[in-house]
Amino acid sequence: MKTDAELFFQPGQAHRGPPLNTFQSPAKSKYQKPSDYLDCPDAIVIGSGIGGLGIASTLAQKRGMKVLLLEANSVPGGCTHVHEIDGFEFPSGIDSIGDMDPRLGRGLYRPAIDFITGGQLQWAKMPNKHETACFGDDVYPWYSSPEQNIEWVEKTFPGEGDVRAYYRLEEKIEWWAWSWAMTKLLPEGVPLRIREGFYKAAGGAWRAYMQRSVNDVFRKELGFSERLAAVFSYMYGNHGRTPEHAPFAFHAVNLFHYRDGAYYPAGGASQMAECVRPILERHGGQLAVSSGVKRILVEDDRAVGVLLEDGTEIRSKLVISDASAYTTFVELLDPEVSRRHGYSQRFDSIGPSPSHVFLELGYDEDIELPKEIIWHMPTYEGVSRWDLSRSDDLYKNHMKLDGMAGYLLSPSAREPLHGQRYPGKSTVIVLAEGIPAWVDRARADKAFKADFSAAVGENLLKIVRRHMPMLAGKQPTLVRSGLPMGCNPRAWKGCSLGLEPSADRFVKHTHWLRPKTTISGLWLTGQDAFSAGFAGSMVASRLTYSAITGDWLFMLNT
């Protein structure tokens, strides 16, 4: 069994893998729109998020296929790309990843990312206390083991709820999630009524608790007090719904994902694309940036290629979209084709996940900043600090920014090679959820966007000042705020997590949100094909490969 020293990047350890993106050599200097595209690719992949990178790398390595990976932006990566602004680097979506120790928990994700990146990507283990939840003046740690969390919870909240029962339930729900995963794997030829019948019969705790809210289970079943339920819900920003509305099963598997710690890619998240690019090229493939797709070409109900925004037509018998379900079925398919296959109508009953507003700060000096993530809970006068749903309503529906919540971290502190790549630089990010109405208005009204961005920055800066006192008196060189965050600038309503992570997404919509589409030759990957976030997208790439090739054992091969 490998040791921590063998699995995780250690201080002073030499970097391995492709050249790092640095102040002198940023990612944007390494990519340009190609003058010629790969002729007759074996597969076309639309979008270079981890789902697109994953399926492209897997097809190249496992099948020797020439893959054309198309990215609309000027740099690849989706949520793994970084914003390189005025000599500073800010991640667009990767702040913390769980399940990167193959010896613990699920044991699946680290072997999966190691395969995708050819074993070249290194990971740094974050501190044992990897997050902190702050409710007013009350500050609570979150540790990298259930045992430690149980110990401090039982000491701090005696008699306020059965925390051990929660962890048992979390494990039970995680186990039963296999039934939902099977809905993605059942062959297309299996009638819908049989697939749904199987899911109803085999869904167990996963399906049952997917249809109950976080608050309902914590308060009524586990007997948690209002404040303990709020503390265990602090991570609600990871799945885009408040405890009053979030499905308990999705909340539980999110916490399970981090129960054995948090990890960060050494060299930054943009190293993922740097690792995959040479893999594609060794097999005759191409990663093409600034190459937005205008239309997926469909002839006789079969995908035959793509039409790019510059008018270039590229043909292939295999087209895989990592561009999200909405973009794929509503924006890239011909409207008549989408309607005939029943896709455009689907979005009448499911919406986008939240977008994110942000504040980015860059300092021209080395500052010792905390590695942990700080969750600052909303605080509004006259509202209990434990009532997250009421506070969220004031923030989103009444646009009360003074008192808003925030998710605070220092990318420069978390990334162990940052000082080598960006010497004399320190960075801070604060995020908060946004709503579609703000994104739509900001895109249509420049004055609103400017005023709103300034107000967001002002209020998020209060959070920075409160929780990072070491920045007092220091003036940032770069201050940038606004919405949406930009892990995918073209996303529906600026959403960060694809389709909304509601109960309906995992119950009512699960049978069509899968790799196999009803259009021959067209496949879906990424978070809408499986689950939200980096881990969900990465697993989706494996799932899509298995569905395309019939190599189902690959899903289990770690």
Q: For residues 120 and 276, what is the distance between their CA atoms, to the nearest angstrom?
A: 9
For 125, phi and psi rounded to 5 degrees?
-90, 130
Q: Where in the chain is the domain with CATH 3.50.50.60?
A: 34-122+265-350+497-556
Q: Which residues contact 256 (CB under 8 A, 6 or more apart)?
A: 105, 170, 171, 173, 174
Q: For residues 483 and 340, what is the distance between their CA atoms, to the nearest angstrom?
A: 35
Judge if the upstream peptide bond of residue 484 is cis by omega within 30 degrees of 0.
yes
DSSP 409: E
pLDDT for the residue numbered 240: 75
Q: How confident is the model at residue 104 (pLDDT cuts 50, 70, 90)?
A: confident
Q: How confident is the model at residue 558 (pLDDT cuts 50, 70, 90)?
A: low
pTM of the entire predicted model: 0.96
Residue 555 has pLDDT above 80, yes or no: no
Superfamily name and number for 34-122+265-350+497-556:
FAD/NAD(P)-binding domain (3.50.50.60)
Choose between 343 and 485: higher pLDDT: 343
For residues 142-168, average pLDDT: 95
Question: In Å, how far from its chain's centre is CA 424?
Answer: 29
CA-based nearest residue to 478, from 89, 91, 92, 93? 89
For residues 121-129, average pLDDT: 95
Q: How confident is the model at residue 553 (pLDDT cuts 50, 70, 90)?
A: confident
Q: How confident is the model at residue 266 (pLDDT cuts 50, 70, 90)?
A: very high
49-53, 369-373, 495-499: least confidently modelled range: 495-499
Residue 160 has pLDDT above 60, yes or no: yes
pLDDT digits (tens, 9 = 90+) for 392-410: 999 999 999 999 999 999 9
pLDDT for the residue numbered 2: 84
Residue 367 has pLDDT above 90, yes or no: yes
Contact in structure between 291 and 72 (CB atoms under 8 Å): yes
Strand partners, 286: 68
Amino acid at 410: S
Strand partners, 499: 352
Q: Which residues contact 21 (CB under 8 A, 6 or more apart)?
A: 27, 30, 82, 84, 89, 267, 268, 270, 271, 274, 421
What is the DSSP code string of 194-217?
HHHHHHHHH-HHHHHHHTSBHHHI
For residues 451-455, average pLDDT: 97
* Beta-strand relationship, 263-265 and 355-363: unpaired
Report how many helices (DSSP H) and strands (DSSP E) the chain contains, helices first.
22, 19
Q: Which residues contact 519 (CB under 8 A, 6 or more apart)?
A: 298, 301, 302, 303, 333, 337, 341
For residues 26-44, average pLDDT: 96
pLDDT for the residue numbered 487: 76
For 108, phi and psi rounded to 5 degrees?
-100, -40
476, HSE (Cβ side, Cα atoms, 13 Å):
20
pLDDT digits (tens, 9 = 90+) for 200-213: 999 999 999 999 99
pLDDT digits (tens, 9 = 90+) for 141-150: 999 999 999 9
pLDDT for the residue numbered 531: 94
